[in-house]
Each structure stands twice: as C-alpha cells, then as structure tokens.
Homo-oligomer: A and B are copies of this chain.
Amino acid sequence: MPMTIEHLKPHIFHQFDKELEDIRSRVMAMGGLAEKQLADALSALLNFDGKLAEAVIANDSQINDMDVAVDGACIEVLVRRQPTASDLRLVLAVLRTINDLERIGDEAKHVAKIALRLVDKEAIKDRLGPLEHMGEQVKQMLHQSLDALARADGQQAVLVALADKNVDKDHDFIMRQMLTYMMENPHKIPDITPLCWCARALERIGDRSRNICEHIIYLVKGKDVRHANLEQLAEEMAAVRQQAK
C-alpha cells in the first residue's frame, strides 16, 4: 500500500508536539537556572560570600546561551510549522518569557557584582534585613510565576502579577529608609548606595516576573493584558472559575 498524506499526518503532528514540548521544557530549565542565580546572588550578598558571587557572575553566560538556543528553536517552529491559534500563542509567550528570564539573569548578575564589592564590608550587615525580606518576596514571586507557566494557570498568573505591588512597596520603603540613614551617616553613603541598587534590581526582577505572568494570561486567554486593570481581570477570572464549579 502506498504511503498517503493521511499516513504522514499523525507522524507530523506527533513530531510537532514533541518540538513544542521540547521548547516548553527548555524554558522551564532556563527558569530554574534564573531562580538559582537569583537565590545565589542574594545569598552571596547576605553572607558576604565572594566565591558564590563570582560563580553567579560566571554562570550568567549559561542563561544567555539558553536564551539564544530557545529563541532559535522558537523561530525554527515559526518558520517550519507556521503554528496557529494556541500553538502560536505558546511560541510567542515563550519568546517573551525567555527575554524576561534573560534580563532576570542580568539583574542577578548585577546583585552578585555588588555583593563582590561589599564582601569586606561586614559592618553593613545590620542594614540588610529589609533587603533580605524583599529578596524572599521576589524569589517567591519568580517561583510562583514559573509554576503558573508550567501549569498554564492563568488564575495564579493574575494573583502573582498583583503581588508585584507589594514588591514595589518594599522597594519604596527600603529607599526611604536608606535615604534617612545616609543623611544621618553621610560617611556611609558609598557603602549604602550599592544596597539601593540591589533594591532596584530586585524591584526589576519583580517587574519581569509580572511580565511572565502577563505572557501566561495571554497564552491562556488569548488576550494582551499588559496595560489592563489586573484587579478587574482577577475578578472576572474568579467569576468564571466559580461558574465552572
């Protein structure tokens, strides 16, 4: 019996699914590395661990390599498979997510560089409490956004995106506190300013995690929510979920 197009189809679809699955698992691996880089950078800062800071700086190129590789795989799929509807949205969401993950890696490297600079300034240890708290929040936010991505959970994505407000509040609080401290201790300005940069980097990682959540919502709902009212969206999605029960 000759081979027909119908014989090929399942094979083609199967192969395509495998490609999408491959992209999905690679973006998750990249997310895992970004999480590790963030955790290590914070640990290096809080424990004055120069060796760990150097490792974070060295490992950043791994994230960059993953970015280029996954980006290439996505373009390959766009070119060869010309996906439509939800497959296309998946590829676009991944393309955007890896961009954010790569930038999160950059911010983690930035924190590691500051940690390296402050490695012999243990006297500032008592100024690190609020940063540690903010770091925990941001780590959790990134983790939950990657978790929402793994499960394509739009509802959780909305909740995590909303949590970015708390990170912004932490940032503003730390800034005010550091400013007051610097005014009272001007000779400490050179040591305290880098901590302000760290708070800023963490705030940016919060923004990027929020971006990832927005890509998930786009993936799940097919709706661009980057400038939308998230509170309203949360209510809508909760209502939908309630009805589905």
Contacts and interface: CB of A to CB of B under 8 A. Distances in A.
Contacts of A129: none
A182 to B, nearest CB: 6
A183 B189 CA distance: 7
Contacts of A71: 224
B79 A88 contact: yes
A224 B84 contact: no
Contacts of A193: 175, 179
Nearest to A193: B179
A189 B179 contact: yes
**Taking each of A72, A82, A102, A184, which has the highest tally of chain B beta carbons within 10 Å of its own beta carbon?**
A82
A190 interface: yes
A24 interface: no
A184 B79 CA distance: 59
Interface in A51-68: 61, 64-65, 67-68
A67 B189 contact: no
A227 interface: yes
Interface string A31-71: 00000000000000000000000000000010011011001
Contacts of A187: 183
A78 interface: yes
Interface size class of A (residues with CB under 8 A): 20 to 34
B68 A79 contact: no
Contacts of A84: 79, 82
Contact of A72 (B82, B182, B189, B224): B224
A67 B227 contact: yes
Interface string A79-97: 1001011001000100110
B190 A182 contact: no
A200 interface: yes
A186 B182 contact: yes
A84 B65 CA distance: 25
A71 B215 CA distance: 13
A125 to B, nearest CB: 22
B67 A92 contact: no
A61 B72 CA distance: 33
Given A96-B99, A184-B186, 6 more contacts: A75-B92, A92-B95, A99-B99, A179-B189, A186-B186, A200-B200
